[in-house]
Amino acid sequence: MTSSAATSSSAVEAIVLAVEDPELPHVTIGDLGMVRSVTINDSGDVEVVLTPTYTGCPATEQIRDDVMTALTERGHSATIQFAMSPPWTTDWITDAGRRKLREAGITPPEHIGASTVSVTLRQPAPTCPRCGGRESRLVSEFGGTACKSSHVCTTCLEPFERFKAI
């Protein structure tokens, strides 16, 4: 463990927030709002609580390993836990995360608010991240990952993915 004098909780939190999502390497787990808490306990160990974006997300264990590696490479001993309640929502994606998704050609989800979530949630038409067009054709409910859907813009005819709102 790094000496506690040289370690601040904000510096340790910054390490965790900067870990890239393995399926969306242009955004961090901090951008996605997956980091619930980062604390340093009385013995100087780091305790991290994360909420995965989807319960069955195949990247969950990789994220745990990447956070552990980021901390241990900087001399920290850590435990990482997952909190499933309350479940993650796309409303937790930061403004920077939404911007990075758009820059990578992925339409971020609209803010849905907890009071509007339902099993039959229908999202507004996605905005094309390339031309800003509001009309598209759904190609597949599943994109490169289960958390995205594939679309084609009917204005510029470019394909793009949309991060699903939950």
pLDDT of 3-21, one tens digit each? 443 468 899 999 999 999 9
Residue 122 pLDDT > 90:
no
- The distance between the two most distant Cα atoms of the chain, rounded to a whole number of Å, is 58
Q: Look at residues 166, 129, 126, 123 and name the one whose alpha carbon lies nearest to residue 146.
A: 166
Taking alpha carbons only, the member of 74, 75, 8 closest to residue 39 is 8
Mean pLDDT of 106-128: 68
Average pLDDT, the chain: 87
Q: What is the pLDDT of residue 83?
A: 95
Fold of 4-82: GMP Synthetase; Chain A, domain 3 (3.30.300)
Q: Above 90 in pLDDT, residue 25?
A: no
pLDDT given at position 125 = 79
81 vs 84: CA distance, rounded Å = 10
Domain ranges of the chain: 4-82, 110-163
